[in-house]
Structure 1
Amino acid sequence: MFNSREYNLTDKQHEALALAYTEGYFDKPRNTTLEALGESLGITQEAVIARLRNGEKNILENTIVHSANSESNP
């Protein structure tokens, strides 16, 4: 099971990322818009962008960056 805390995700970031993924925001072409995601979440497009961006950053920092740092500092 996915543990949001392991990746330093807030509940709101996790909710936005999960919704964006299931609704096809990350598909090519996209199957949804920031506006639609915002409506589903009850927030503005700007807030959706912030939650996605911050959530993605947290995931990257706690996977790729953390892994690279661990490998260079055994």
Structure 2
Amino acid sequence: MAVNLRYKRGQTEASHSIAYAFYKRGLYAESLELLGKILPRYEELNDTEKIIQVHLDMSDVLNKGGLR
């Protein structure tokens, strides 16, 4: 729906939710890849809170998934 409305924040937040779902299902590489793609989107939106959240989520994925 956010895509059809061209609602950038909604698209980004939906992708963030999908990345979290990947993480919870143990798909760490996929989650990390998607988080890396949405980080610049939050930076474009100047959403400091979400930028910090993405960094924290990436840290969780790296620690849980043993990716380094």
TM-score (norm 2): 0.35
**Looking at both structures, which has the greater relative contact order when contacts are Cα pairs under 8 Å and sequence separation is at least 6?**
1
Higher helix share: 2
Of the two, which has the highest radius of gyration? 1
